[in-house]
C-alpha cells in the first residue's frame, strides 16, 4: 500500500544523494508528509510513520487498517486532545504514538479499502492539526516539559 521513504523534517525534503543536512533522516509514508511537517512545526519530534493491517482475535471477523505516527519522546496526551474520529494516543515508556484504526469487514477486498480508510484518517488528522493554535500549543508544551 504505502512505502516508507527517508525524510528530513528539518528541511521538509526527502533525502537523496545530494541532501546536505546535519539532521538524521526519519522514515515516513508519503501521504503523511503534511502531518509530519505540521507536527515538526509545532515542536513534536516525529521518529517515523508506519501502516499495517491487523485482525481481531480470536474470531478474525474484522480487519483494522492502522496508521502510526511514532514520536521520539513521550508526550502528554493533554497536548493534543479531542483527536479526530479513529485517532488515539498509545504510549510506552520510551515514546508516544498517535494511532489511527479503522475497521474493515472481513470479506471486503482489503487493499483498496485499507488505502481509502487510511487516506480518510490522514485527511482528518491534517485538518485537526491545521486548526491548532501554534503559540498556545508551544506554550503548553513548555509548561508540561518543565
0.75 surpassed by pTM: yes
pLDDT of residue 30: 92
Lookup: cell for 118: 487510511
Residue 58: asked if its preceding bond is cis (omega within 30°), the reply is yes
pLDDT of residue 117: 85
Find out whether 66 and 99 touch, Cβ atoms under 8 Å. Answer: yes
Tell me which residue range forms the domain holding 91.
4-145
Measured in residues, the chain has a length of 146
Smallest Cα–Cα separation from 23: which of 41, 43, 5, 47?
Answer: 47
| pLDDT value at 109 more than 70 | no
Smallest Cα–Cα separation from 39: which of 72, 2, 84, 5?
Answer: 72
Roughly what angle, to the nearest 10 degrees, separates helices 33-41 and 110-130? 20
Averaged pLDDT score across all residues of the chain: 86
Please give the tally of structural domains in the chain: 1
Identify the band that residue 144 occupies on the pLDDT scale cut at 50, 70 and 90.
confident
pLDDT of residue 103: 81
Looking at 9-13, 71-75, 92-96, which range is the least confident one?
92-96
Element (H, E) at 29: strand 26-29
Amino acid at each position: 500500500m504505502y512505502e516508507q521513504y527517508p525524510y528530513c523534517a528539518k528541511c521538509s525534503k526527502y533525502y537523496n544523494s545530494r541532501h546536505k543536512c546535519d539532521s538524521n533522516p526519519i522514515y515516513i509514508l508519503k501521504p503523511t508528509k503534511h502531518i509530519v511537517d505540521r507536527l515538526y512545526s509545532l515542536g513534536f519530534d516525529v521518529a517515523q510513520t508506519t501502516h499495517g493491517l491487523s485482525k481481531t482475535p480470536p474470531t478474525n471477523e474484522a480487519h483494522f487498517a492502522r496508521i502510526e505516527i511514532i514520536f521520539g519522546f513521550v508526550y502528554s496526551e493533554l497536548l493534543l486532545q479531542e483527536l479526530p474520529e479513529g485517532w488515539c494516543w498509545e504510549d510506552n515508556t520510551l515514546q508516544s504514538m498517535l494511532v489511527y484504526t479503522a475497521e474493515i469487514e472481513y470479506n471486503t477486498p482489503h487493499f483498496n479499502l485499507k488505502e481509502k480508510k487510511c487516506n480518510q484518517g490522514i485527511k482528518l488528522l491534517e485538518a485537526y492539526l491545521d486548526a491548532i493554535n501554534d503559540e498556545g500549543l508551544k506554550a503548553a508544551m513548555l509548561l508540561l516539559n518543565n
